[in-house]
């Protein structure tokens, strides 16, 4: 089956105004039905707790489509700003409501805003349009005492990390090696201002044998330095054979102190 | 040390007893391939299973805690067929919005060729 998008939810201002009615941040069903009791139980939790939200770039792309968004930045920047402000307010309200019930260990944003070699919009445009929202959410997150403020983006993120650090983001994933992300180099460049999850080359997992041994050895200095939870740098693809995956888990277990 | 404390210590450059062991997550096609290659179908946690096969004996950590916050459209769009064509179908559909099992929330019309 192949598919092709022929219409996106927002194609004109009327679509946009209609859509906003479906985003009532105070709708009680946006939190778990037993939010108070669940939050009380989670105060003494043993498991790590993340809250996930879509970032502005991700969400506007969902509304207007990728090409539509990229042209909209140029053709109608005022509407882009309006949509970002709306989403910022929506998520800010949800953060505050959630924090009344539970303080998570991490607030994690999804943006997926990079190609293999570059950011999908320039760092300058990211700074102008997106960074202020990341910062203001970060103030809420930090103000509530949430220690980890994370960001997810596939693709090459080397030119985005400085902006994330500026926004107060202190963890990112999944650090795709095939996109040219070099984790030891990132650690040298950004020091301990950024922690990472992921970073293990899925292609080396597929090759197995010496390739995966070398890959874990490549990452070992960062594992030992801290601020890094090594994991496959995206979903494990089907060309990773089960015996090679078991071998990889064993190597990873040794490198992380589990064997 | 709890799984929570271990992850926090790792993320914050402190020294956990061990770095969290989180090898990754397989796609559906990956799991189908693995089942054909020797992963028993009744194994619920293939990462723990792989760890045991590799010789691991330490207690497997508890799963992450959950507190779901719904950022999506309320109400969501209905999924419906808008037009049947000879070789395709125009569908207003829900879109998966996140790789980690979050459901997207808006309607889109798409031409789907089965």
| CATH number, domain A47-172 | 3.20.20.210
B7:A5 CB<8 A: no
Q: Which residues of A touch B69 (CB under 8 A)?
A: 30-31, 51-53, 94, 97-98
Q: Give the side-chain half-sphere CA count within 13 A for A44.
A: 3
In a domain, B7, yes or no: no
Q: Is the pLDDT of residue B91 over 90?
A: no
Q: What is the pLDDT of residues B48-67, one digit of tens each?
A: 999 999 999 999 999 999 99
**Mutate which: A253, A254, A257, vs B, most B CBs within 10 A:** A253
In a domain, B2, yes or no: no
B62 and B89, same domain (yes or no): no
B62 and B30, same domain (yes or no): yes
Confidence of residue B75 (pLDDT cuts 50, 70, 90): confident
Q: Which residues of B touch A245 (CB under 8 A)?
A: 23, 26, 34, 50
Q: Which residues of B touch A62 (CB under 8 A)?
A: 95, 97, 104, 106
B61 and B89, same domain (yes or no): no
Q: What is the ipTM of this complex?
A: 0.95
Q: Report yes or no: A240 and B23 within 8 Å, Cβ to Cβ.
A: no
In a domain, B84, yes or no: yes
Confidence of residue B97 (pLDDT cuts 50, 70, 90): very low
**Mutate which: A249, A250, A257, vs B, most B CBs within 10 A:** A249
Confidence of residue B112 (pLDDT cuts 50, 70, 90): very low
Average pLDDT over residues B82-98: 69
Q: What is the pLDDT of residue A104?
A: 98
**DSSP code string of B33-89:** HHHHHT--TT-S-HHHHHHHHTT--SPPPPPPB------S-SSPPPPEEEEE-SS-E
Closest approach of B6 to chain A, Cα-based (Å):
9
A229:B23 CB<8 A: no
Q: Give the side-chain half-sphere CA count within 13 A for B20.
A: 30
Closest approach of A4 to chain B, Cα-based (Å):
5
Interface of B with A in 76-95 (CB under 8 A): 76-77, 90, 95
Interface of B with A in 1-60 (CB under 8 A): 2-4, 7-8, 10-15, 17-27, 29-30, 32-34, 37-39, 47, 50-51, 53-56, 58
Q: What is the pLDDT of residue B107?
A: 37
B62 and B28, same domain (yes or no): yes
d(CA A140, CA A23): 20
Q: Is the pLDDT of residue B78 over 50?
A: yes
Q: Is the pLDDT of residue B86 over 90?
A: no
B84 and B52, same domain (yes or no): no
Residues (pLDDT < 70) of chain A are: 1-3
B4:A110 CB<8 A: no
Intervals of CATH 3.20.20.210 along chain A: 47-172
Distances (CA, A) of A168 to A82, A109, A131, B75, B86: 23, 12, 10, 33, 53
Both structure tokens of A229: 């939870």
In a domain, B72, yes or no: no
A231:B22 CB<8 A: yes
How many domains does chain B fold into?
Answer: 2
Q: Give the side-chain half-sphere CA count within 13 A for A240.
A: 30
In a domain, B95, yes or no: yes
Q: What is the pLDDT of residue A163?
A: 98
By residue range, what is the domain housing residue B36? 24-66
> How confident is the prediction for chain B on average, in pLDDT?
83
Distances (CA, A) of A220 to A161, A231, B19: 21, 13, 12
Average pLDDT over residues B93-98: 47
Average pLDDT over residues B76-93: 80
A46:B66 CB<8 A: no
Q: Which residues of A touch B64 (CB under 8 A)?
A: 47-50
């Amino acid at each position: 089956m192949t598919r092709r998008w022929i219409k996106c939810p927002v194609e004109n201002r009327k679509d946009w105004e209609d859509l906003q009615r479906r985003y009532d941040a105070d709708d009680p069903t946006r939190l778990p039905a037993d939010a108070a009791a669940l939050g009380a139980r989670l105060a003494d939790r043993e498991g790590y707790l993340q809250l996930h939200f879509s970032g502005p770039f991700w969400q506007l792309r969902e509304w207007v489509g990728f090409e539509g968004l990229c042209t909209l930045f140029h053709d109608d920047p005022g509407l882009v700003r309006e949509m970002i402000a709306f989403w910022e307010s929506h998520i800010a309200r949800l953060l505050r409501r959630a924090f009344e019930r539970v303080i998570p260990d991490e607030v994690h944003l999804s943006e997926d805003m990079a190609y293999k070699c570059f950011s999908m919009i320039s760092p300058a445009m990211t700074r102008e349009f997106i960074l202020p929202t990341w910062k203001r959410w970060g103030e809420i997150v930090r103000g509530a005492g949430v220690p980890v403020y994370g960001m997810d983006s596939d693709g090459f993120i080397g030119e985005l990390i400085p902006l994330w650090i500026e926004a107060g983001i202190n963890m990112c994933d999944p650090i795709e090696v095939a996109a040219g992300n070099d984790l030891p180099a990132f650690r040298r460049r950004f020091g301990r201002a950024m922690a990472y999850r992921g970073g293990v080359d899925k292609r080396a997992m597929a090759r197995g044998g010496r390739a995966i041994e070398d890959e874990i050895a490549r990452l070992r200095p960062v594992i030992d330095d801290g601020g890094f939870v090594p994991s496959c740098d995206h979903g494990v693809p089907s060309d990773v054979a089960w015996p090679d995956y078991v071998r990889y888990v064993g190597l990873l277990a040794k490198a992380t102190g589990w064997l | 040390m709890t799984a929570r404390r271990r992850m926090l210590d790792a993320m914050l450059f402190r020294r956990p007893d061990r770095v969290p062991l989180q090898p990754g997550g397989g796609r559906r096609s990956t799991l189908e391939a693995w089942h054909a290659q020797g992963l028993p179908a009744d194994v619920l946690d293939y990462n723990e299973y792989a760890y045991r096969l590799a010789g691991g004996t330490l207690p497997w950590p508890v799963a992450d805690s959950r507190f779901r916050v719904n950022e999506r459209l309320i109400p969501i769009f209905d999924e419906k067929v808008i037009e049947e064509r000879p070789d395709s179908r125009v569908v207003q559909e829900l879109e998966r919005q996140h790789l980690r099992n979050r459901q997207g929330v808006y309607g889109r019309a798409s031409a789907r060729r089965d």
